Amino acid sequence: MKTNNNSWINRQFQTLKTKSSNFYQRRLITKDKRVILYGKMGGFLGLVLKYFLLYALAFIILYPLIQQFAVALRHPKDINDPLVLWIPNEFSLLNFKVAFIVLDYGKSLLNSLVLSIGVTLLQLFVCALAGYSFARLKFKGQKLLFGLVLATIVIAPTTIELPLKNSLINFLGTGKNLIGKPFVLYMFAFLGLGVKAGIFIYLFRQFFKNVPKELEESAYIDGCNPIQTFFRVMLPNAKGAIILTVILTFVWTWNDTYYISNFVTTANFDFNTLTTKIMGVRNSIVYALQTANVWQLFDSNVNENPLFTSMILNTAAILTMIPLIIIYFLVQKALFTEGVERSGIVG
């Protein structure tokens, strides 16, 4: 039998087939396109959301700083001007001058710097030693001692404040009163009771645990005793933990009011760091302005405005933070490349 491929019905059938397959193909393509398009849109939206979130939050963080600067730079004349909200009409450093005098800036800044650096170095030394001991120099009963370290992290310093003060007034029965001398803060740092010392001991322990043991063994074979091993091999390798400890201890000591005001400033009003000074001044700003002989510089129109005192206070607050912010931006790169990524937090 002969088959006719070119019959009408066959041709119809063929065209229908190609049409439907084309249609089907096109649908597939559009579906794929749609999926890809949605995916792209989703990705773009996610990106926008991400940027929006991050930059908005960064702005929220910076907001008080910007606000404080804006307030600090305005002239006292502009206080009552409702048109001045952010950018002052007349730039002036008058507020800074007054705040300088009120804070006794030079002396307080020196105290702050010396105290923070001293405490940081002592704390770094003690915590690194203790952390190394807990990580590598094992002995019986050490786990119990490490439990004690965890206890020092958990127990807030306020818990032991009163008896501690009581024992410091008559230190070890010698009759010497240590309260009121900055020495007591250095002593705390050296005895591992400084600002959150327990956390740093824990950090160093975690870090040294992750350093390969072969390093130490080779040092020992080359004739190092543990103290030499510690200073020549382990510490140079512990950059991350050191940077983190230094930055956090420095910042926490700088911002600390608890230790300084409780153990030093209560008995010795002459010793003030920037932070304790402004904390002392903030409740009696008018009195402070009067005793600093700057009250008379302004007329009563300015003086009697409560916003004026809060403006001075605000300027003083930003003055206490400026050194810290400058130091932070100098070291922040090291903090993130060394401190976070290679610190012993994880391990």
Partner 1 sequence: MKKYQENELLEIKEKTLHQQEKLKAKAFKNETKINRLLKLKTTRRRTKQIVALNEKNQMLSIRDKRLSEKLILIEKQTLSKENIFKKFGKWFKNIPYSKQLVIWGIIFLIPWLIGMLILFLPSFFQTIWWSFFEVAPEGRTLSFKFVGIENYKFLIQGYVIDSSRIFLSELVLFVQNLIIDLPIIIIFSILIAVLLNKKFKGHTIVKAIFFIPVIYNLTLINDTLTGGFGEYLTEQSTANILFVEQFTWFFLDLGLGQDLIEIVMNAVGRIFMIINLSGIQILIFIAAIQSIPEHLYEAAKIEGATKYEIFWKITIAMITPLILTAAIYTVIDSFARAPIFRFIKYATTSNKYGLAASISVLYFLINIAIIGLIYALMRKRVFYYED
Span 140-159, contacts to partner 1 by CB under 8 A: 142, 145, 148, 152-159
- Residue 191 CB neighbours (<10 A): 11
Helix axes 306-334, 105-136, angle to 10 degrees: 40
- Minimum CB–partner distance for residue 34 and partner 1 (Å): 18
User: 244 or 294: whose CB is closer to partner 1?
Assistant: 244
Quick check: 41 binds partner 1 (CB under 8 A)? no
**Strand boundaries in 2-120, DSSP class E:** none
Give backbone dihedrals phi and psi of 159, rounded to 5 degrees, phi first: -60, -40
Supply the DSSP symbol for 246.
H
CA distances from 280 to 99, 260, 292 (A): 14, 12, 14
Part of the chain binding partner 1 (CB under 8 A), chosen from 2-10, 28-36, 99-107, 184-192: 184-192
- Minimum CB–partner distance for residue 342 and partner 1 (Å): 9
Part of the chain binding partner 1 (CB under 8 A), chosen from 7-15, 111-119, 231-239, 335-343: 335-343
Give backbone dihedrals phi and psi of 202, rounded to 5 degrees, phi first: -60, -45
Tokens of 6: 């070119």
Part of the chain binding partner 1 (CB under 8 A), chosen from 27-35, 48-56, 106-114, 295-303: 48-56
Quick check: 284 binds partner 1 (CB under 8 A)? no
**Using CB under 8 A, which of 1, 9, 61, 87 touches partner 1?**
61
Quick check: 225 binds partner 1 (CB under 8 A)? yes
Distance of alpha carbon 223 from alpha carbon 184, whole angstroms: 39
Query: Which three-class secondary structure state does DSSP give residue 88?
Result: coil
Using CB under 8 A, count the residues that bind partner 1. 91
Quick check: 169 binds partner 1 (CB under 8 A)? yes
Part of the chain binding partner 1 (CB under 8 A), chosen from 113-121, 231-239, 291-299, 332-340: 332-340
User: 53 or 93: whose CB is closer to partner 1?
Assistant: 53
**Using CB under 8 A, which of 36, 48, 58, 215 touches partner 1?**
58
Quick check: 114 binds partner 1 (CB under 8 A)? no
User: 110 or 325: whose CB is closer to partner 1?
Assistant: 325
- Minimum CB–partner distance for residue 166 and partner 1 (Å): 7
Distance of alpha carbon 158 from alpha carbon 180, whole angstroms: 18
Distance of alpha carbon 131 from alpha carbon 129, whole angstroms: 5
Part of the chain binding partner 1 (CB under 8 A), chosen from 19-27, 286-294, 295-303, 314-322: 314-322
Bridge partners, residue 91, by sequence: 74
Tokens of 317: 């607050």
Quick check: 68 binds partner 1 (CB under 8 A)? yes
320-346 CB burial, b ≥16 within 10 A, e <16: bbeebeebeeeeeeebeebbeebbbee
The DSSP code sequence of 156-167 is -GGGGHHHHHHH
Quick check: 36 binds partner 1 (CB under 8 A)? no
User: 294 or 313: whose CB is closer to partner 1?
Assistant: 313
Quick check: 320 binds partner 1 (CB under 8 A)? yes
